[in-house]
C-alpha cells in the first residue's frame, strides 16, 4: 500500500494450401535473372515483447496495443519506455500508453526511477468562516504550486488517500511543483448550501468575497504565506477532477492563475468563452456521468479548439478504453499480485473479462453479483470492502469511465511547464 507520511504541527492462419501452391508455382516459373522480390505470405500474428511491464502478446497489424509499466513502490515512479520501438508510442513517458501495431514485431522496455516517498504536511487552517483541513508539500526551490481539487462527494482526506492522486502528487513534487489540498465548504459542513442536490464546490457566484470556496482558497493561501511556508511569488495553477475540474477553471480565472487542468470536466460555456487562462482538458472516452458524457467530451474538444482560435493555449486529451492485465489490482500494494491474478481469472471465468483482457460487461452488474456473495467468486469475496472498491475503480479506469487516473501525469507536467508548447 502506498504510504503517505502526514507531518503534523508538532510533529494505473493457417495459410491455404491452394494459395501456397500457387505462390510456389509462380516462383518456380520466374527466370533466374528476374530480380523482382518474392513477397512471402503475410503473417497475421506478430509479437509484442514488453520487458518490465505488461501488454506483451500476439497481435495483428493495425491492432491498438496497450502497454503498462511493471508494478512499482512508494519511492518509485515510472520513468520512460526504452528501445527503438518507443517511437511508435502515443507517449514514451506515461506508465500506460498505446500504439498501432505495425507489420512487424515490437519490443519495449519499461524503466523506473527513484523519487522521495510522498510526504504531506497537515494543518487545520482558518478559512472565511471556519477551520479547514489542508494538506500541503513544497519541494526545495519550488517553481510553482498546484491546488488539487476533489470531485463531487469528495473531500481532502479522500483525495490524499486515492492512489491515482498520490501518483500525480509524487510526479508534481519530483518535478518541482508544490501541492495544496483542501476541500469544498459543503464537504466540511456536510450541508448542500446551494440546494443543487450535491456536496461539492460552489462555482457561483464568481466573486472572491461572496463565494465561500474562493474565499477559503485565498484565506488558506494568505495564511501559508504569512507563516513563511509558501513563497508569495510562486506561480499558481489549479487541477481538479469532475466538479473539481469545473471549479479549477473558475478558480484559475478568478485569481488569474498560470494554467488550469480539468479531468472529466468540460468547463462552463460562459467561462470558456471569456477566459484567457491556458486550459487543459483530460477526458475519458467512455464517460457516463450525466453532467459530462459523450456530449461533455465533445464540448471540451470544442472549448479547447475555440480557446486556441482566440490564441489561448489549450490542450485536449481523450483516454481510450484499455485491457486489464492480471496484476492490475495489485497496483496500490493493498492486494497481493497473486490475489489480483486469481480475481482476474475468476472474472474471466464468469464472462466479465474476455481473452484479450477487456472488461466486457457492466460494472454495476458485477457489484450486484459480488454483493450477493456467490461461491463462484471466492477470491473477490475474500477481500475487504476497501479492496473491492479499489478493484471497481481500476475496472472503471480501464473502461475509460468517469474516474481520476494518473495516465496523463506526464502530459500534465508538460502543460504546467509550458502550456503553449
Q: Are residues 135 and 250 in the same domain?
A: yes
Distance CA 136, CA 134 (A): 7
Domain total of the chain: 3
In a domain, 31, yes or no: no
The series of mean pLDDT values per 10 residues for the chain, 421 residues long, is 45 32 33 39 78 97 98 98 97 98 98 98 98 98 98 98 98 98 98 96 90 98 98 98 98 97 96 97 97 98 98 98 98 97 96 96 93 91 96 98 98 98 87
Q: Which grid coordinates belong to 96?
A: 500506460
Is the residue at 156 inside a domain?
yes
Among 115, 138, 156, the domain boundary falls at: 115
Q: Please list, in sequence order, all residues whose beta carbon lies within 8 angstroms of the beta carbon of residue 400, skipping any fewer than 6 positions away.
A: 284, 285, 286, 287, 319, 320, 321, 322
In a domain, 104, yes or no: yes
Rounded to whole angstroms, the Cα distance separating 320 from 160 reads 25
Is residue 261 a contact partner of residue 148, using CB atoms and an 8 Å limit?
no
Nearest partner of 130 among 186, 196, 180, 181, judged by Cα: 186
Domain with residue 170: its CATH number is: 3.40.50.1820
Closest among 148, 187, 153 to 166, alpha carbons compared: 148
Residues 170 and 228 in one domain: yes
Q: Kindly state whether residue 37 falls inside one of the protein's structural domains.
A: no
- Which of residues 63, 94, 115 is at a domain's end? 115
Range of the domain at 284: 119-321+402-417
Residues 102 and 128 in one domain: no
pLDDT, residue 8, reads 42
Q: Is residue 127 part of a domain?
A: yes
Do 51 and 191 reside in the same domain of the chain?
no
Q: Is residue 27 part of a domain?
A: no
Residues 160 and 291 in one domain: yes
The answer to whether residues 172 and 130 belong to one domain is yes
Query: Could you identify the residue written with the cell 502526514?
Result: 6
27: three-class secondary structure by DSSP: helix
Does residue 341 sit in the same domain as residue 269?
A: no
Question: Do 338 and 386 share a domain, yes or no?
Answer: yes
pLDDT for 37 equals 42
Count CA atoms closer than 13 A to 394's CA, side-chain side. Answer: 25
Within-domain flag for 394? yes
pLDDT at 421: 87
At which of 79, 100, 115 does a domain end? Answer: 115
Q: Are 184 and 203 in the same domain?
A: yes
Whether 412 is in a domain gets the answer yes
For position 373, what pLDDT does the model report? Answer: 86
Task: Find out whether 177 and 142 touch, Cβ atoms under 8 Å.
Answer: yes
Amino acid at each position: 500500500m502506498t504510504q503517505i507520511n502526514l507531518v503534523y504541527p508538532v510533529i494505473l492462419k493457417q495459410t491455404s494450401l491452394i494459395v501456397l501452391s500457387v505462390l510456389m508455382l509462380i516462383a518456380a516459373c520466374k527466370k533466374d535473372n528476374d530480380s523482382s522480390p518474392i513477397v512471402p505470405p503475410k503473417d497475421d500474428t506478430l509479437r509484442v515483447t514488453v520487458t518490465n511491464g505488461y501488454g506483451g502478446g500476439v497481435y495483428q497489424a493495425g491492432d491498438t496495443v496497450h502497454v503498462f509499466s511493471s508494478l512499482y513502490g512508494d519511492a518509485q515512479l515510472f520513468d520512460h519506455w526504452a528501445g527503438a520501438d518507443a517511437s511508435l508510442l502515443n507517449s514514451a513517458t506515461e506508465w500506460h500508453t498505446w500504439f498501432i501495431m505495425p507489420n512487424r514485431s515490437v519490443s519495449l522496455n519499461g524503466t523506473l526511477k527513484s523519487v522521495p516517498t510522498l510526504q504531506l504536511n497537515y494543518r487545520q487552517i482558518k478559512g472565511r468562516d471556519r477551520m479547514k483541513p489542508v494538506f500541503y508539500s513544497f519541494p526545495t526551490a519550488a517553481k510553482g504550486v498546484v491546488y488539487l481539487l476533489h470531485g463531487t462527494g469528495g473531500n481532502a482526506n479522500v483525495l490524499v488517500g486515492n492512489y491515482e492522486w498520490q501518483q500525480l502528487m509524487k510526479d508534481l513534487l519530483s518535478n518541482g511543483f508544490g501541492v495544496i489540498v483542501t476541500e469544498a465548504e459543503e464537504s466540511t459542513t456536510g450541508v448542500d448550501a446551494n440546494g443543487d442536490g450535491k456536496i461539492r464546490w460552489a462555482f457561483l457566484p464568481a466573486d472572491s468575497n461572496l463565494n465561500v470556496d474562493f474565499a477559503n482558497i485565498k484565506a488558506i493561501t494568505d495564511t501559508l504565506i504569512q507563516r513563511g511556508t509558501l513563497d508569495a511569488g510562486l506561480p499558481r495553477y489549479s487541477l481538479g477532477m469532475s466538479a473539481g475540474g469545473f471549479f479549477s477553471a473558475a478558480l484559475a480565472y478568478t485569481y488569474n492563475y498560470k494554467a488550469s487542468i480539468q479531468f472529466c470536466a468540460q468547463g462552463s460555456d460562459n467561462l470558456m468563452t471569456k477566459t484567457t487562462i491556458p486550459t487543459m482538458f483530460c477526458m475519458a472516452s467512455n464517460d457516463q456521468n450525466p453532467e459530462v458524457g459523450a456530449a461533455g467530451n465533445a464540448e471540451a474538444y470544442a472549448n479547447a479548439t475555440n480557446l486556441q482560435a482566440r490564441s489561448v493555449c489549450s490542450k485536449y486529451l481523450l483516454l481510450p478504453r484499455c485491457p486489464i492485465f492480471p496484476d492490475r489490482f495489485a497496483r496500490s500494494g493493498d492486494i497481493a499480485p497473486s490475489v489480483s491474478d486469481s480475481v482476474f481469472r475468476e472474472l474471466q471465468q464468469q464472462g466479465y473479462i474476455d481473452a484479450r483482457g477487456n472488461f466486457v460487461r457492466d460494472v454495476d452488474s458485477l457489484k450486484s453479483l459480488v454483493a450477493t456473495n456467490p461461491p463462484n467468486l471466492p477470491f473477490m469475496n475474500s477481500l475487504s470492502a476497501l479492496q473491492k472498491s479499489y478493484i471497481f475503480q481500476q475496472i472503471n479506469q480501464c473502461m475509460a469511465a468517469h474516474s481520476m487516473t494518473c495516465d496523463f501525469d506526464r502530459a500534465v507536467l508538460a502543460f504546467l511547464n509550458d502550456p503553449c508548447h
